[in-house]
Amino acid sequence: MNPTRQLHDLGQRLWLDNITRTLLDDGTLQRYIDRDSITGLTSNPSIFDEAMGGGDAYDAGIRDSAQAGPSDEALFTELALEDLRRAADLFLPMHAATGGLDGWVSMEVSPMLATDTAGSLAAALKMHAQAGRPNLFVKIPGTPEGLQAIEDAIFAGVPINVTLLFSTAQYLAAAEAYLRGIERRIEAGLDPVVESVASLFISRWDKAVADTAPAELRNTLGIAIGQRTYRAYRELLASPRWQTLAAAGAHPQRLLWASTGTKDPDAPDTLYVEELAAPGTINTLPEKTLKAFSDHGKLSGVMASDGGDAEATLARFAKPGIDVDALAAQLQRDGAASFVKSWRSLMQRIAEKRDALAKGKA
């Protein structure tokens, strides 16, 4: 049996961490769905920056849309949503068949809004309406300023993928925002079913401490953070507060493993897939990682619901002075800054392309 199917059967869903027009045009995404049990996908500014700069697949759309005179940001949004609508339509049958569990695509609000609560909410509402698909998650960063926007978006009925989470505390803050949003809907007599996922970034932890962690702890910090957070996730789902909401018909906000491509060339290329096998979660994989796991991945069990040896591992990191709480905050800031950098690069790329196309030089 394909290893990806094994993960699906144990209760974990796999999403593709990529989208390009070529993936849609040549049938690759459909093959991933059929062969590798892919049940959703995610996007971010870095992915679109690479996709739009990697060839001429978007040139016709830029040329045609540019004649209408939209801003570079509005032009990008429509081009990206064209791709995401097509992907959402491929996933729509499984979305319907699973009652909304599977078949999701995700698009991020502008990273420039990461510290703008009102702006993030307004952008999420607009994007959700503009997409016109029931199976599109709007991604909002789980920054301190983003939490209120997340709660308000859930209350408004917008499915949300909370992104840029790096620690258990950050995950729990995002979960709290989701719970409050659902509780407000119930109090208002609204349908309690608004889907959400909370995306915990993994590999960036190990990259951040690669030069400071003891050699024997190499590539173990991200997994330990994941184990600790999975324990908190399972405890939340067992809590009386959640059980009350579940009894009212609400669906859980699922924990999603993000940034699961191996950064260390000396580490197994399937490391963060095999170690993060956990029922009730999602793992979103870069194409390279998906292909590697499908080819030679092996499962040796599932993640312990009690966190396993996470606390012992984290205690070992504390000895040389690695403060995981401070590092989590820094990683979130760095992640937001990285997306802003990619966003600016993307806007510049679109501006240059539309100018060149208008002059007949591309």
Helix, strand, or coil (residue 15): strand
Instruction: Give the count of alpha carbons within 13 A of 242, CB side only.
Output: 17
Q: Of 238, 163, 239, whose CA–CA distance to 196 is shortest?
A: 163
**DSSP string computed for 250-303:** PPP-EEEEE--S---TTS-TTHHHHTT--TTEEEEE-HHHHHHHHHH-------
* DSSP 8-class letter at 188: T
CB 339 within 8 A of CB 111: yes
Catalytic residue among 126, 139, 341, 359: 139
Which residues are CB-neighbours of 308 under 8 A, at least 6 positions away?
Answer: 227
CA distance 208 to 324: 11
- Neighbouring CB atoms inside 10 A of 315's CB total 11
Q: How distant, in Å, are the alpha carbons of 85, 177, 270, 290 from that of 24?
A: 11, 34, 25, 17
Kindly give, in sequence order, each residue whose CB lies less than 8 Å from that of residue 148, ignoring residues fewer than 6 positions away: 117, 121, 177
E strand map for the chain: 13-16, 38-41, 104-108, 136-141, 160-165, 196-201, 254-258, 281-285
What are the residues whose beta carbons fall under 8 Å from the beta carbon of 93, sequence distance 6 or more?
Answer: 103
Is residue 263 annotated as a catalytic residue, yes or no? no
Answer yes or no: are the C-beta atoms of 148 and 117 closer than 8 Å. Answer: yes
Q: DSSP assignment, residue 109?
A: P
Using CA atoms, how far apart are residues 233 and 168, in angstroms rounded to an integer? Answer: 9
* Start-to-end C-alpha separation, the chain: 46
What positions carry a catalytic annotation?
Answer: 139
